[in-house]
Every structure is written in C-alpha cells, then in structure tokens.
Amino acid sequence: MLDIKYIAEHPEEIKSGMAKKGYTKEMLDVDALIALYKDIAALKTSSQALSEEKNKLSNSIKTASAEERPAIIAKSKSIGEELKVEQEKLAAEQAKYDDMMLRMPNMPSPESPVGKDDSENVVRRKVGTPRTFDFTPRDHVELMELNDWSELERITKVCGSRTYAIKNELARLELAIHMLVIDKLAANGFTVINVPSLSKEKPLYGQGYLPFSRDEIYYMPQDDLYLSGTAELILNSLRADELLNENELPILYAGFSPCFRREAGAAGKDTRGLTRVHQFMKTEQFVICKNDIAESEKWHQKLLALSEEVLQDLELPYQVLEVCTGDMGAPKYRQYDLEAWVPTQNCYRETHSCSNITDWQARRTNLRYRDNTDGKVKYAFTLNNTGIATPRALVPFLENHQQADGTVRIPEKLQPYMGGKKFIGKNAR
C-alpha cells in the first residue's frame, strides 16, 4: 500500500511509476482515487461536525433540568439519524477507496530496468562456467530413475499431478541442503523459525498476494483457511499491528515451511520432474528493517549475497538477473532473481527471488516502529529472498554434479550434511 497523501501530492510521479509496471488508467485510475479520497475527507468533516454536536448535547443532559431534557434528547436523536445516513455514505465510499488502495502497486526503484515483461530482465552477472560434458548428460529424472531415488509415477496416482516423492539418498540430500542454508543464515544472525503452512485470509492481503492472484492459492472453505505458498506470507504478518522499538530492528528470520501452489496459470509448463510442483519445501529469508531506502538497499544486497553464497556452496553456475519493472509483482520496489544452470535444458532456471518491498507490505499489516531520533512512528521496511527451495534446486544440482556412471558428486561444503559422502548413487563407492 502507498501513502495516499503522497499519491495526492505527486499524481504524475505515481502514474509514471504505475505505467512502468504496466498499469493503465483503465486498470487503476489514480485521478479517480484522489477524487474519492477528497470526497471522503469532506464527508468525514461534515459527519464529524454532527458527532461533535451530538456529543455536546449528550454531555449537557447530565446537568440539564428535568424540563429541558426531553427537548435535548429529541434533538440528539434526530442528529443521530442524520449521522447514520452520513456514515453509511462514508462507509460505501470508504469500501471503494480501500479496494483501490489495495490494488495500487508499489513504485519501482529508479535503478530498476524499465521493461514490459521477463524478456527485458537484465543479466547483471554470471558466476561459474557451465560444465562441458565428455558424455551425454542425463536429465534429473533419468538420474533419479537410475539411482532409485524417486517414485514419480506412483505418487501421482496417489496424490495427483505435480506432486513428487523422492527417496533414499536424495530424500536425505533435500533435507541436507536446507540444513546447510539454515546453518548459514543462523551464523549471519537470522532467527531460525519453522512456521505453519496454514494461513487466515488477512495475511494474504498483508503480503500482497490478494487481491491479485486468488487462483494460485489453495483454500479450505470448511475451516476458512488457506495453504501458504511461502513462509514470507506468515513472517510478514507475524509482527502485524505491532509498534516496535527501533532497537528491535533489524529483525531477521530464516523461516522454514512446506509451501503450496496451485500453479493454475502454468498449465502444461514444466510438467516433467521436480521443477514445478504443488507442494515443496522452502527456507525463506525475511528482513524487517528501518524506514530508510539506503538501509534497505544494504539489506537487499546482503540477502542477495547470502543466496549467491548458497549457490556457490552448492557449486552451481548461476546468473544474477535484475528484474525489470513490468515483470515485478505489485509489491516490489526492486527485485533480483538468481537462476542456476540446467545442463539438459541448456539454460538458466530460477532458484531464488530477492525483493525489496519498502513499506508497501508494512502499511498493509500495520507494522510500525518508533524512531529513536525523532520519536515518530514509522512504517517498517520488509525484504524477502529465497534461502533455498526444494525440490526445484535439486534439478540443477543433480544435473550439474552427475558423473558418467550416473553417480552424483557432493560438493565439499555439503559433505558434512551428508555423512561425509563425496558421491551418491548406485555406483558410488
């Protein structure tokens, strides 16, 4: 959510920011929003004048004489009727206004490349060199079948499409990678927190998932609960409605949770293997920091560096993508994606998404802190980034580290989490 006063004072700046994100006047009319805001202010002024009069009358009853009272009560009642009409009008306008405000996207950073869709994202750097194979590399599904690491066909009979079951060393590898990431984040001052995958509706608005993409979310009407697509959802609302002391900031969370996505908009995409499944595990990085662009940029870089370190520890070649304005979601101020090299697809595939949300989410969740220097109450800034998401990350992992004999090499940093093993697979010694 944005500051309506800022919108009203800088309409052209807001319009140009929205245009960069691909919003048209038909989708969301800023001038209409501002007009509505002014209408509401006028309605508030007039209804508050009525309230004031009514309060005065009510307070005068106590000291009024018995003869005076009936007239005062009658007058107060009639103002009450008038007030009720005004307030109903106000509530109707307010509902329209709230709906528009919830749909207002965050303004993109001036640093973000301007573009219409993912084709205009900019590669900032490439780290590591895609491996050249002296044998024909197997894709990750072949490797899993060869090594008895999965139950892909059987599990879809039981659980439906886009589900996965992995077993033996690969099942342990999945958890080992999470532990490596969790240890790294803990060593960097993050609070490790395992959170539920169930959510009420309100946090989905707080995160900015709703009202935008309801189709993507599993909903259980019997309990009025949703399945979380990411721990960011839960962590973003964990401190909602709190007024923090600045000394408590920054708050760093390493949140682990099972994640659920309907993948309704991805029909037919990535249907083979582990790339796009309905349920997966994610360790998420989440930061709540001061209301300060420079400070948040610093944390944004830190989060990015941590996830780059993860890919380096896993010895995966990757590229850092700066996401352009048109490909960024509504909540985002600035976004980087990390993509790891997938040999059999001959391209980089997304593993991490690192975003600075500024105060857009905190305004929705009413997450504030009191500033130490001026004593003022301010909205906090939030940032989030993937720590690691599996099984997706196993795709480049298996394919990049495969050997001619079908075994998979375990990078040095991961070996302690795999009982010291240097290779896994049927032919591993």
Partner RNA sequence: GGAGAGUUGGCAGAGUGGUAAUGCAGCGGAUUGCUAAUCCGUCAUCCUGUUAAAGGGAUGCACAGGUUCGAGUCCUGUACUCUCCGCCA
Q: How many residues are listed for the chain in this entry? A: 429
Q: Is 41 in the site for RNA (CB under 7 A)?
A: yes
Q: Does 374 bind RNA (CB under 7 A)?
A: yes
Q: What is the DSSP string of 195-211?
A: --SEE-HHHHHHHT-TT
Does residue 44 touch RNA according to CB under 7 A? yes
Please say which residue, 57 or 320, places its beta carbon nearer to RNA: 57
| Residue 171 or 377 having the CB closest to RNA | 377
Q: Which of positions 224-243 make contact with RNA (CB under 7 A)?
A: 242-243
Classified as helix, coil or strand, 278 is coil
Q: Which of 372, 412, 426, 427 binds RNA (CB under 7 A)?
A: 372
State the number of CA atoms in the 13 A half-sphere of 270 facing the CB.
17
Q: Which stretch binds RNA (CB under 7 A): 50-58, 188-196, 394-402, 411-419?
A: 50-58
Q: How far is the CB of 316 from RNA (least distance, A)?
A: 35
> Does residue 312 belong to the site contacting RNA (CB under 7 A)?
no
Starting at the edge strand that comes first in sequence, how are the strands of the sheet with 377-379 ordered?
243-245, 368-370, 377-379
Position 51: which residue type? S
Identify the residue among 25, 31, 35, 55 touching RNA (CB under 7 A).
55
Number of residues that bind RNA (CB under 7 A): 30
Residue 94 contacts RNA per CB under 7 A: no
Q: According to CB under 7 A, which one of 22, 29, 34, 58 is a site residue for RNA?
A: 58
Q: Name which of residues 101 to 120 contact RNA (CB under 7 A).
A: none
In the chain, the N- to C-terminal Cα span, in Å, equals 56
Residue 184 burial (10 A CB sphere; 0-12, 13-18, 19+): buried
Compute how many other C-beta atoms are within 10 angstroms of the C-beta atom of residue 372: 12
* 59 contributes a contact to RNA by CB under 7 A: yes
Indicate which single residue of 24, 45, 136, 222 sits in contact with RNA (rule: CB under 7 A): 45
Q: Do residues 303 and 395 lie in contact, with contact meaning Cβ atoms separated by under 8 Å?
A: no
Q: Contact with RNA (CB under 7 A): which of 27, 305, 377, 404?
A: 377
Q: Is there a contact between 299 and 399 (Cβ–Cβ < 8 Å)? A: no
Residue 283 Cβ vs RNA, minimum distance, rounded to whole Å = 21
Catalytic residues: 261, 276, 350, 353, 392
Q: Does 194 bind RNA (CB under 7 A)?
A: no
Q: Is residue 62 part of the contact set for RNA (CB under 7 A)?
A: yes
Residue in the structure block whose two tokens are 């009025």: 224
Torsion of CA 108, 113, 119, 122, to 10 degrees: -130
Q: Which of 194, 245, 301, 427 binds RNA (CB under 7 A)?
A: 245
Is residue 61 at the binding interface for RNA, with CB under 7 A as the rule?
A: yes
Residues 341-370 within binding reach of RNA (CB under 7 A): 368, 370
Question: Could you tell me if 324 and 120 are in contact, meaning their C-beta atoms sit under 8 angstroms apart?
Answer: yes
Q: What is the DSSP letter of 406?
A: S
CA atoms of 14 and 82, how far apart (whole Å): 37
Owner of token pair 């892909």: 152
Residues in contact with RNA by CB under 7 A are 41-42, 44-45, 48-49, 51-52, 54-59, 61-62, 73, 76-77, 80, 242-243, 245, 368, 370, 372-375, 377
